[in-house]
Chains A and B, each alone.
Chain A
Amino acid sequence: MGSKVAIIGSGNIARDHLVALRSIPDVEVAYVYGSNLERAASLAALYPGAIATTDIDKVLRDPAISAVDITNATPDHARFTIAAGQARKHVHVEKPAALNLPDLDAMIAATEGRELSLMVGQTVRFQPSIATIAASLQGGEIGTPRLTHVSWYTGYVWPGGWRGWQLDAAKSGGHPVHNGSHCIDLAIWLLQRTPVRVFARSFPSYAAQMPVHDSFQLTVKFDDGSLALLEISYSLRKHADMLRRIVVAGSEGTLAHTTEDDPGLTSDGARPAPSSIEGAMTAQLSHWVDLIQGRAAPIVKTAEVRATLATGLAAQQSLETGRAIELSLPSIHAKGAML
């Protein structure tokens, strides 16, 4: 029998989640919660049988609901996750998981502390090219990975214009938290080490007066000396362009992928994402369903998510101070416990 779940949030990401969940067996979306009923209803219409609601208590009190998928803005992640955990629901929450570590710790305590699962939506881990790199690392094909360099450039401006919450570091956590989470998480996951120092530098590419620069770079040093150079930029001129290049150097070889090598479509009619990242959301939510039904061990561990958030927050602090920021995180990976 499939799990009944609820979508919390009615924004663009919620739509992506609904579409992905529609294609996954063993799961049924019973509710779409939103603060605006009309918007929630427009999303619920995408999923046969889903009920739109503005009453979160109704959702969380429903014993048929085993899990919730929290897709609303970052400042709301903590209170909805904690409420869901208290109602004994498994939780999937969009990245970044929280705006600060105390909130995340409370979220973990409310879920994993009750033997419920908490999965953070680190979608990039589920992209085919990244999954292939991870599988190769897991298979020991390049020995021990020690160095990674990620260049991640896109042509995209977040919706909302100057009203966008992404421009307010108090609401987004800052750009390294908001849009750096995937890249930082990737480095932590692939290298399987704990960050100890981060330095960040940024530049604005298309609006110099923006309070949050659209492009930044991070240097991350890990507890065993491993290194990650991470570049994020929203400077590409054409909308939906993407150039991502990943190199992971290990003790016995190197893995490299660039989207420049992907088969692609050039057309005025459509501009699909690079083929090396397609299907990631479906793979992510399929894993979530497996997780809540006890069929899989978590790919996204909350200790790694916590290290990612701490590193992103430190990177934001680095941007504000111009200094490298030291991190004091507990070691999150047992030696040899790859992936």
Chain B
Amino acid sequence: MNAESATVRKPKLRIGFLSGIRHAVPYAEILAEMADVELVGVAEDSVSPAWMKGDSAKAAAAVGIAYFDSLVPLLDANTVDAVVVCSEPTRHAELAARALAAGLHVLVDKPIGVNRADIAQLAKAEATAVGTLSVINRLQSPAVQRLRRWVDAGTMGLPLHVDVEWFASGAHFATSVERPELVVDPSLSGGGELLNFLLYPVDYIRFLTGLEVVEVHCEASTLFSQLHEENGVEDCAIVSLLLENAVTATVTVGRVPAAPGLGPVSSSIRILGSHGNASSDDDKPQVSRYDTAGGISALPVGGPSSVAILRIMLKQYVQELQSGRTPTYGLHDAAASFAVIEAAYDSVKSGQPVRVSTAR
């Protein structure tokens, strides 16, 4: 399939979902808002367990689109232009590779994969694909984009250190995670919250500095969640990174009972530069509201960040495909962040800093 000719021939970008058990509903709801997108349906593998079929069917029903009890109808370039892979993480790479082989554009939910073999499989699939491969990311966060503009303007000098704090709120666990096992059962999730979340901070750090991570030291623990404990996966971690040019970075990441933000996740960044410093927070600027009952609440400018950032990202993705451009965020970026996650897990195991395998 040729994206440019597809744009000419088809007034709407036809998008399907390969599995709908994880994040499909929020992604579909945003895509459904776009006039130039047609949602074709959600397909689940015919050999998937009954609960996956049930959940995928429910996701399709929730957004009023068709459900297919087989992947075949949506692995067809005559039916769809692009698919969003919303399965459990351990199936991401396999489904994405099959969709690439079918000549489709592929947007994979994060994380892109759960091990090095997944990355290799995708690299191989992408090498001969006519479609593009991209991954859900948060680099379009207005707060992050603002920081990047400040870095690029040069007034902050050279970044010397970047600190990222990223928390998901356990208070929102029941509403933001479809099934707990998708996050805590390694046979589905591939790991704990390091695998689930560390890619976001690492994406930020690479995006803001233009530098690759060369060494990782990571401490991880199960601090709060009994579910994580029972499944032997971490819910929190702290990470020290060495980047090229001796730049350093730190990350605090995980799922805490109450994240210090306004929504299901909180994300803040601090940059120390040679000629200045800067900070950002996805929930700020914000407006305070004081009510007559004595309550205080805060209104993030631009709306709740989780949805707002996703909306910007998906809109840009659709525009890129419709204009025949390769999505900005591709396998190279996802693989680089994954390599850091892999090194972080190795560091947790050894208790020592670990070199990143893909470091230039």
Contact = CB atoms under 8 A, between A and B. Distances in A.
B239 to A, nearest CB: 8
Interface stretch (A51-59, A78-86, A165-173, A319-327): A319-327
A4 interface: no
Given A146-B223, A217-B161, A237-B276, 6 more contacts: A142-B258, A147-B223, A199-B240, A229-B252, A249-B257, A252-B258
B7 interface: no
A217 B239 CA distance: 10
Classify chain B's interface size: 35 or more
Q: Per DSSP, are chain A's interface residues mostly helix, strand or loop, or mixed?
A: strand
A17 interface: no
B248 A201 contact: yes
A205 B274 contact: yes
A225 interface: yes
A149 interface: yes
> Would you list the 10 A-B pairs with minimal beta carbon distance, nearest first?
A225-B221, A146-B223, A229-B238, A249-B256, A256-B260, A149-B252, A254-B258, A221-B219, A199-B217, A253-B258
B353 A229 contact: no
B241 to A, nearest CB: 8
Contacts of B237: 227
A219 B219 contact: yes
A175 B224 CA distance: 33
Most B Cβ at <10 Å: residue of A199, A215, A322: A199
Nearest to A221: B219
Interface in B100-153: none
Interface in B275-302: 275-277, 279
Nearest to A260: B279
B222 interface: yes
B223 A227 contact: yes
B351 interface: yes
B221 A252 contact: no
A318 to B, nearest CB: 9
A247 B281 CA distance: 14
Contact of B242 (A201, A219, A256, A326): A201
A158 to B, nearest CB: 18
Nearest to B351: A324
16 contacts: A199-B217, A203-B160, A203-B248, A217-B161, A219-B239, A225-B222, A227-B221, A227-B238, A228-B238, A229-B252, A243-B270, A243-B277, A249-B236, A249-B258, A251-B257, A322-B353
B66 interface: no
Interface in B159-210: 160-161, 163, 165, 167
A215 B256 CA distance: 28
B217 A201 contact: yes
A229 B223 contact: no
B254 interface: yes
B277 A235 contact: yes
Contacts of B259: 254
A151 B270 contact: yes
B264 to A, nearest CB: 14
B5 interface: no
A147 B252 contact: yes
Interface string B282-325: 00000000000000000000000000000000000000000000
Most B Cβ at <10 Å: residue of A147, A220, A231, A253: A147
B250 A229 contact: yes
A311 interface: no
Interface string B212-239: 0000011101111000000000001111
B238 A219 contact: yes
A274 interface: no
A305 B352 CA distance: 26
A150 to B, nearest CB: 10
A179 interface: no
B246 interface: yes
Contacts of A149: 165, 238, 252
A254 B260 contact: yes
A146 B223 CA distance: 6
Contacts of B258: 142, 249, 252-254
B54 to A, nearest CB: 34
B219 A233 contact: no
A322 B161 CA distance: 18
Most A Cβ at <10 Å: residue of B160, B165, B252, B353: B252
Contacts of A326: 351
A153 B240 contact: no
Contacts of A219: 217-219, 238-240
A219 B221 CA distance: 13
A323 B270 contact: no
Interface string A219-259: 11100011111010101110000010101011111101000
Given A151-B270, A227-B236, A229-B250, A215 B221 contact: no
B254 A147 contact: yes
A245 B274 CA distance: 20
Contacts of B224: 146, 249, 251
A203 B252 contact: no
